[in-house]
Amino acid sequence: MKHKDHRYIQPQNTEEAMLLIQKLFNKYRNAPLTNELLEYHNNLIYRLQSDIKEAAIKENKPGQLKSLSNMTEIMRNWTTTRLNGKPFNGKMRHFKLVTDGGFKFERNIHKINQTTNHRGSRH
């Protein structure tokens, strides 16, 4: 076989295909919005609704169909959020949206030369 025949990944079932699309979505979710990215994203949504949905119906897994519709809804919400110029804070995990809760502020705790477990604050 030629090199071009090995270029694309062929998933064996719907779950594998959905995991692959989830992984791709998480890679580009914070990328700057361009026409190429929007076309690519819409193509993935189309694949979810056509090929992968038909395969899930053939496999007769209702849980998979529910995850598929949830995943499609998240990806459509991403499109509207990014087209409105807002950041999309969250990522897809187990075909569900997981928000990271925004910014985290870290606090440094110092034990200042004490033998107890009480923590002192440096002023």
pTM > 0.95: yes or no: no
Q: Which stretches in the chain have pLDDT values below 70?
A: 1-8, 100-123
> Which strand (E) or helix (H) includes residue 59?
helix 53-59
Q: Residue 68: which region, alpha, beta or left (left: phi > 0; alpha: psi -120 to 50)?
A: alpha
Q: What is the pLDDT of residue 87?
A: 86
Contact status, residue 48 vs residue 75, Cβ threshold 8 Å: yes
Q: What is the pLDDT of residue 116?
A: 57
Q: What is the pLDDT of residue 81?
A: 92
Q: What is the pLDDT of residue 6?
A: 59
Q: What is the pLDDT of residue 112?
A: 61
State the Cα–Cα distance between residues 119 and 110, nearest whole angstrom.
Answer: 6
Q: What is the pLDDT of residue 102?
A: 59
pLDDT tens digit sequence for 54-85? 999 998 888 899 999 999 999 999 999 999 98
Q: What is the pLDDT of residue 88?
A: 85
Other beta carbons within 10 Å of 106? 5
State the Cα–Cα distance between residues 57 and 53, nearest whole angstrom.
Answer: 6
Q: Which residues pair with 110 in a beta bridge?
A: 120
State the Cα–Cα distance between residues 39 and 54, nearest whole angstrom.
Answer: 22
